[in-house]
Amino acid sequence: MSKRNTQKKLPLFTLILAAVAVGLLGFGTIGGARAALEIFSDEYDARIDMKHIGITLNESNSADGSGAAPVSSRNYEVGSETLDGNWVMTGGELLTGLRAEIEATESKNLVLGKTYNEWLSVTNSSQIDEYVRVSVYKYWQKDGKKDTSLDPSLIDLHFLEGKWVINQDESTNERTVLYYTDVVPVGGTTDPLTDTLKITYPTAAKVTQTTEVVNGVTVYTTTYDYDEVQFVIEAQADGVQTHNAVAAIKSAWGKNVSMNGTSIDPASLSHN
């Protein structure tokens, strides 16, 4: 007697990642960007045609969030014949608008304490409706390496909740994980999840002081801990199909959610 296993396939979802480092305080040069996109659940094409899935991360640096443009995306296109199979990806840089704004100033430096516009959103660029999650990482790096001694909270990226729910259990000082409660239909775009970015004033006050005696003279040296550093923001988005939503979300994201119609109950997303 033959058996069919219909319970153990992972839900279909796709993940994109875009990141950029921007020079700070005039001590470092504007950093390069990187974009990396990945796809998971290879075996799931036995249940759903893989050409249906795709996701796009958008950004705007305008005052009202208008004019959002794709930053990175990954979409399945039959016959694309890329090195990555049928997956077609586009990659760009976060904070390009902010970079241009800074470079247009006389000092060419980011101003401490100034609030800049930074709107992020996600578009469903697939052929099926999706639920969406975004993880945002912020940290400092020096000489091209992550510096964990510096405080990520000084990178003040303001999150907009409402339809976006921050999961407190998954979030840390460096990472914020947000879930979108509504279905994102094919071609639809989420509400923005951020609106502003500011590097707060305490950055300039973080100093290290040393003393040494040179030829009988005591020399005091003050070094700013944030000299020659860059701040980094990464945004990672992934989507899960809406079919059999509770089970799909549990398998893909490990979340036990409850539903209010087609929307995810916010209370079931804030923790667990």
Task: Determine what percent of the chain is predicted with pLDDT higher than 70.
Answer: 72
pLDDT of residue 63: 93
- Give the mean model confidence (pLDDT) for residues 176-181: 96
pLDDT of residue 214: 82
The larger pLDDT score, comparing residue 107 to residue 186, is at 186
Specify the length of the chain in residues. Answer: 272
pTM: 0.77
CA angle, residues 225, 227, 232, in degrees to nearest 5: 95
pLDDT of residue 75: 74
pLDDT band, very low/low/confident/very high, at 164 (cuts 50, 70, 90): very high
Reply yes or no on whether the pLDDT at 204 is more than 70.
no
- Give the mean model confidence (pLDDT) for residues 92-114: 82
The larger pLDDT score, comparing residue 211 to residue 260, is at 260
For the chain, what is the mean pLDDT?
A: 75
Q: Give residue 91's Cα distance to chain centre.
A: 13
- Give the mean model confidence (pLDDT) for residues 24-36: 25
Write out pLDDT tens, residues 223-242.
667 667 788 888 888 888 88
The most confident of the ranges 52-56, 127-131, 190-194 is 190-194
The larger pLDDT score, comparing residue 182 to residue 44, is at 182
